[in-house]
């Protein structure tokens, strides 16, 4: 099943972008995304749609975070800790906020400023813009929250997202964060940025990230803790990538990964959104399941009750579209896990 849940150019916004998804322990699927009046630096809000039937139907849109007509708001991330849901977002690529819900996303607390963790990262990497995600954070088997952050030291032009580095930040109570080790780019791995992370069955951590070198593949590093001691970076030649965000989740001790299975050598670089499964924590991958030929950013979650993978993504081709990035809007696909091979 694949459906359009928010159509671009309709219902008050120019474009809907940067989707994420979380399926709670109670089985509630929460899809969150930016509602933009323009591009990356435009005024935007963060909205949420909720599904109680595994992604078959969704509630009306809820505006959770408002840009108030003047502030840009970016890249929400969600996680669940101690029976509560948390939403973390960024304002103007500069400040970070956290809100909490105890009723499965129906209502949210007042936001709390947690920019201090970005300021801690600034001591290690003097960023000019910083942002978490996109996608969702993870909660480890020990209960630690870990999420990916990217930073750009672009003093010449703040609108650029490079040169960049990345890190993880973490919390043991879900509300107070600390900064992990910075992962720097180098001559081979240019501008590491938007990352996805998973805990392997042996308790180690797998980090898969976007980068902008001529090698058009996803890049990988590993760690025993998920917050430092990262291994030497490598390209995953089984995962072509056109320099775009991706999604990652764990399903029955296996990794499920979503990205645009394509390189950047054509006019339409972001296409062929594909799901793959790995039984060895990202060392090898299945051939893949094509979700949509026309797609960009994505995130993925596993519904253990229904044995389905739920994918949220920017996708579909807008009627009369002249460019690859002119998607229909936010789409959700529900795929039985046994179909991904």
Q: Are 190 and 133 in contact (CB under 8 A)?
A: no
pLDDT at residue 296, as a whole number: 92
What is the CA angle 88-9-300, rounded to 5?
40
The residue ranges of the chain whose pLDDT is under 50 are none
Q: Are 43 and 33 in contact (CB under 8 A)?
A: no
> Structure tokens of 146?
């870990």
Strands of 125-211 (E only): list them. Answer: 129-132, 138-139, 145-152, 164-171, 178-183, 195-199, 205-209
pLDDT at residue 327, as a whole number: 86
pLDDT at residue 320, as a whole number: 72
Q: Are 213 and 193 in contact (CB under 8 A)?
A: no
Which whole-number Å values give the CA distances from 201 to 204, 205, 325, in the listed order?
A: 7, 9, 37
pLDDT at residue 155, as a whole number: 79
Q: Could you check whether the bond before residue 81 is cis, i.e. omega within 30 degrees of 0?
A: no
Q: Please state, in angstroms and rounded to a whole number, the distance separating the CA atoms of residues 127 and 133.
A: 16
User: Which residue is associated with the tokens 């739920």?
Assistant: 310
Beta bridge pairs of residue 258: 247, 275
pLDDT at residue 161, as a whole number: 79
Please report, rounded to a whole number, the percentage of residues in the chain having pLDDT higher than 70. Answer: 97
Domain count along the chain: 1
Q: Are 279 and 296 in contact (CB under 8 A)?
A: no
pLDDT at residue 138, as a whole number: 98
Whichever domain contains 314, its CATH number is: 2.120.10.10
Domain that holds residue 145: 2-339
For residue range 146-163, list pLDDT tens digits in order.
999 999 998 777 777 789
> Structure tokens of 245?
């965000």
- Average pLDDT along the chain: 94
User: Which residue is associated with the tokens 């007509």?
Assistant: 69
């Amino acid at each position: 099943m694949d459906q359009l849940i928010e159509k671009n150019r309709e219902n008050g916004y120019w474009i809907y972008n940067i989707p994420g998804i979380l399926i709670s322990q109670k089985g509630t699927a929460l899809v969150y995304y930016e509602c933009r009046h323009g591009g990356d630096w435009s005024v935007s809000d963060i909205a949420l749609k909720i599904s109680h039937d595994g992604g078959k139907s969704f509630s009306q849109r809820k505006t959770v975070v408002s840009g108030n007509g003047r502030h840009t708001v970016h890249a929400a991330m969600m996680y669940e800790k101690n029976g509560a849901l948390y939403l973390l977002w960024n304002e103007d690529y500069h400040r970070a906020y956290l809100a909490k819900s105890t009723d499965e996303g129906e209502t949210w607390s007042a936001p709390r400023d947690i920019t201090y963790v970005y300021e801690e990262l600034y001591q290690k990497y003097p960023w000019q813009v910083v942002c978490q995600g996109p996608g969702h954070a993870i909660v480890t088997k020990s209960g630690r929250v870990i999420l990916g952050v990217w930073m750009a030291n672009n003093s010449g032009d703040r609108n650029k997202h490079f040169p960049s580095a990345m890190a993880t930040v973490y919390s043991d109570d879900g509300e107070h964060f600390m900064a992990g080790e910075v992962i720097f780019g180098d001559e081979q791995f240019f501008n590491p940025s938007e990352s996805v992370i998973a805990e392997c069955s042996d308790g180690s951590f797998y980090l898969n990230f976007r980068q902008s070198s001529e090698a058009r593949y996803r890049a990988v590093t590993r760690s025993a803790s998920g917050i430092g001691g990262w291994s030497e970076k490598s390209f995953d030649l089984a995962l072509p990538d056109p320099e775009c965000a991706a999604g990652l989740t764990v399903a029955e001790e296996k990794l499920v990964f979503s990205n645009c299975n394509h390189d950047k050598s054509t006019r339409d670089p972001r296409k062929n959104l594909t799901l793959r499964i790995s039984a060895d924590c990202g060392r090898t991958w299945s051939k893949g399941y094509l979700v949509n030929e026309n797609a960009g950013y994505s995130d993925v979650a596993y519904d253990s009750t229904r044995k389905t993978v739920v994918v949220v993504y920017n996708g579909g081709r807008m009627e009369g579209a002249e460019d690859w990035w002119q998607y229909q809007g936010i789409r959700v696909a529900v795929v039985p896990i046994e179909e991904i091979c």
